[in-house]
Structure 1
């Protein structure tokens, strides 16, 4: 993209929606095989043979919700959004995303927080199964359960 902008999904009733969806599939394939000498967005558009407007409509045809499309060089298309200041401060990997849908943001946070609980639930089921069907006395079962929890964290 030659500039950062918010794109919204193309209406399914739009007369050119199917055509632009096919164009989007074609553009994805070409983007995966882009020559290294293509260094600008305009050069990329010339390489794939579309105008900027056609490119934007193709992207919009495959969106399911509004999305921020960041200014990128073709070689950087698969680089996650990042902040130079945050990289300098934390020296860590990041994937920054603009929040356009507060509900989706809260859903993401809840799922992220509960991700660890899913693992613990599986572990608890395995421990209960082991205790019920194992041929161990109470002390051995307790030791086995303790070791499972200690090694899980």
Structure 2
């Protein structure tokens, strides 16, 4: 690899198996979008062009979810796995996630705060769509893919 080239990690090469279930059988969701969320504008994670769009398409097609990169097993922190808040707020990908539909059916979800604190709340108590107040420090809506 030349000095000028940047190595781009491809999660398809080594899929992460981070668990987003709590020990009590609830779905864990990030309480807010992290500062470098892939659903913020500006491609803060330096992903390949079209990568987020492909992830959203896969979530919709497979009824899956996007795990918050701050909680992946190879991340620097020690947070337990959680679904990305930006994906949950995405107008297409959020409603298609099977885990989030399970959380709605259970009536509760466990929010993971950036400091590692977990809080179980009624699913209906969390805002179901993006609002500007939820997105500090950024100002972009969840459906903007940063591309």
TM-score when scaled to structure 2? 0.27
Please say which structure displays the higher CA radius of gyration: 1
Which has the larger share of helix?
A: 1
Which has the larger share of strand?
A: 2
Larger RCO: 1 or 2 (CA < 8 Å, sep 6+): 2
TM-score when scaled to structure 1? 0.27
